[in-house]
Structures are given as C-alpha cells and as structure tokens.
Amino acid sequence: MKFKVDLQLLLPAVLLSVLGSFVIWSVNPDLIVGHLLSVGIGVVLFLVISQFNLVRYQMLWPVVLILLVVGLLAVFGQPAIRGSYRWIVIGKYTIQVAELGKPALVFALAGFASTFLLRTFRNVAVYLFLGFIPAFIVMKQPDLGDAILYSIMILTIMFAGYVKYRYLLYLGLIGMLLLPLGWFALEDYQQSRIVSFVQPDYDPQGIGYNATQALIAVGSGGLSGKGLGQGTQSHLRFLPESHTDFIFASLTEELGFIGSFVLLGLYAVLFYRLLVCAMGSKSIFNRLFLIGIYIQLFIQTVVNIGMNLGLVPITGVTLPLVSFGGSSVVVTFISLGMAQAVFQSERQDELLIR
C-alpha cells in the first residue's frame, strides 16, 4: 500500500498547532512541553490512521456506540474535577472521554444512517434516540458545550442523510415546544452564563468577568498586537483560562488583527478541504462521516471564537488545535486522520473500478 498524506488537511492543522504553541508558551511556559508532546502524538496518529480503510469497518458502528456510552458513563466513577465528571484519571494523566467521543459518535451515526436509511419515521426516531443517549450523558457530567456540539452533529448528519422534509418540520415544531423546558435542565451556573450573555452588565465582577476580560484583550491588540509575552490581560492574570477557553483573546491581544486573520485563514483552508472531500463523496457513509467531522470542528471553532468576542454564551469549548489540552489536540488530529482515511478509500475504490 502506497503511503499517502493529504497536505491540504495536515499542513493547516500543523500550522494551527504551531501558532497555538507560540501563544501557550507566551502565556504559560510551563505547559509548552506537554502541549508539544500532545501535538506530536496527534500528528503520528494522523499519519497512522489515515492509511487505514475505515470504510471496511462501518458495520461496527453498534460496537463503537456501545463503547462510547460505556466510556461516558465510566467518568462518573472517577473523582470530580472542578465540580464536573468529565475525565478518566490514569496516573498523572487525564482523558476527557467526551472529546474522544466526538469522532466516535460521527462514525456511529454515519454507520446507522447509511445502513438504515432515514426515509421512515421509525428509522429517524431510532437514530435520534441512539444519538441523544451520549449527548444526554455529556449534559449530566455536566458539560453544556460538548452536549450542544453533540446535538448539532446529530441533527446535521440527520439533515444530510436524506431525511424527509416533513420529519424535519415535525422535529422543528417539537423542538420549539420543548425549548423552554431546556432552561430548567441547566445547572445554576449555566443559567447565569446565559443571563450574563443577554445582559452584559449583569454581575460584571462575577459570572460576567471572563467575557468582559476577553473583550478587553481582543480590543487592546490593535492591528499587530502587543507582541508575544507582552499581553497584559493574560500575563497580569486578568484573563482566566488564557491558554484554553480564551486563547483566541490571548492570541489577538499579542498578535493583533494580523495574527487572528492568519488563524482564520488556516481554519478556512482546513474547513474548505473537508467540505470539498464531503461533497465529492459518492458513498452515503463517506459523505455523512465527512460532513460530521466538518461540523464537529467548524461549530467548535465558531463557538469558541464567538464566546471570545461576546457573540455566544461561555460554554467551555476549546479552540481546535490551538487551545491547550491533550485530549482535544490528539482527538482533533485523529478526526482529521479518519477523514483522510475515509476519503482516500473512496478514491482507491474508484481506481479499482476503472
């Protein structure tokens, strides 16, 4: 088998990681070695996974879904970290199962939707039931950001799976009726974040503090920024989570509009490539899987940048490939490797047919 690498996927991903590494080194030098190790592991896994024909294993989607649910439930047997049950602790390392679950959920949903076409109400109902089991578990950890991301992935893959429009209308009406009840399913701090988003002057020194400081950091960067290591918001500890949730604000403060423009340009190249691969796929499984990976990364990017700019409520979603976090970085490279593997398998099949 000839070794192939899609540089249109790998190169922007690596450059985003390099850009993130500079910012992490700037705001917290103690974390840079661990972050670079995660990037290295991620790149290796990308290169390995991208060479497999994952399409051959699409019938294993029930096994993948079961393992995902078991993994998400396993975190409740672990010690709570900052009030949440999101991590499995192995020695001095932690694994965030909800991150690993993102490409796994996409694989399972694409497998179901390509095996049982979403053309009947029964199949749609079973699809939604199976899909929202992991989303509900993530919500109870509690992890609102990833629960919302899971939900968007579920609905997008369903929409792309040739579901009948009347079913979408029914689901939309049901969703509108149930939406007010969702408020009562939120934790108190999650409700406060939404209130703070709607009313920016609500508790600016409390629940609204992070959003306020992020906006100050973004606004103070100017065209070219203050320079690496010169950001006052991050280095004077005004901006919390400057290396994770609010790394975009840190980057914009230190590298300015130019730095953020480069960041967005790299994301644009990456997302365009994923979308081209998805639209060029003839297999239902391949198309749904690639659309799922695209949505997974695109929505996560939009939500993170949006909360840094005060455009969406703070949900704790990291910036793919840029934020510090071993699980997030490694899983993103795994997702991209799986995307290349799926698209590459289709091109190989076309060559065999010819």
**And the tokens for 5?**
């690498």
- 118 located within any domain: yes
Peptide bond into 142 cis (omega under 30): yes
Q: What is the pLDDT of residue 351?
A: 41
Q: What is the pLDDT of residue 201?
A: 65
**And the tokens for 210?**
């992070």
- 1 located within any domain: no
- 2 located within any domain: no
**And the tokens for 152?**
């968007």
Average pLDDT of the residues in 31-54? 93
CA distance 223 to 216: 15
213-226 tens-digit pLDDT: 888 888 888 888 88
DSSP E strand stretches across the chain: 87-90, 93-96
- 266 located within any domain: yes
CB 162 within 8 A of CB 184: no
Domain that holds residue 225: 7-353
Q: What is the 3-state secondary structure (H, E, C) of 60-112?
A: HHHHHHHHHHHHHHHHHHCCCECCECCEEEECCEEEEHHHHHHHHHHHHHHHH
| Stronger pLDDT, 205 or 276, i.e. the higher one | 276
- 284 located within any domain: yes
* Count of structural domains, the chain: 1
Average pLDDT of the residues in 82-111? 88
Collapsing DSSP to helix, strand or coil, 170 comes out as helix
163-189 tens-digit pLDDT: 887 888 888 888 788 777 777 777 776
- 158 located within any domain: yes
| Stronger pLDDT, 159 or 3, i.e. the higher one | 159
Give the residue among 206, 197, 225 at the shortest CA–CA distance from 306: 197
CA distance 12 to 262: 11
Model confidence at 352, pLDDT cuts 50, 70, 90, reads: very low
Q: What is the pLDDT of residue 200?
A: 63
CA distance 142 to 162: 32
CA distance 97 to 88: 7
Q: Using CB atoms within 10 A of its CB, is residue 8 exposed (0-12), middle (13-18) or buried (19+)?
A: middle
298-319 tens-digit pLDDT: 999 999 999 999 888 888 789 9
Average pLDDT of the residues in 66-80? 91
pTM for the model: 0.90
* C-alpha distances in Å from residue 229, one per residue of 13, 16, 219, 253, 340: 24, 19, 17, 10, 36
CA distance 286 to 341: 10
Number of Cβ within 10 Å of residue 296's Cβ equals 25
Tally of residues, the chain: 354
21-35, 101-115, 193-207, 209-223: segment of lowest average pLDDT: 193-207
Q: Would the pLDDT of 349 be above 80?
A: no
Matching residue, tokens 């929505």: 299
Q: What is the pLDDT of residue 89?
A: 82
CA distance 288 to 106: 8
- 268 located within any domain: yes
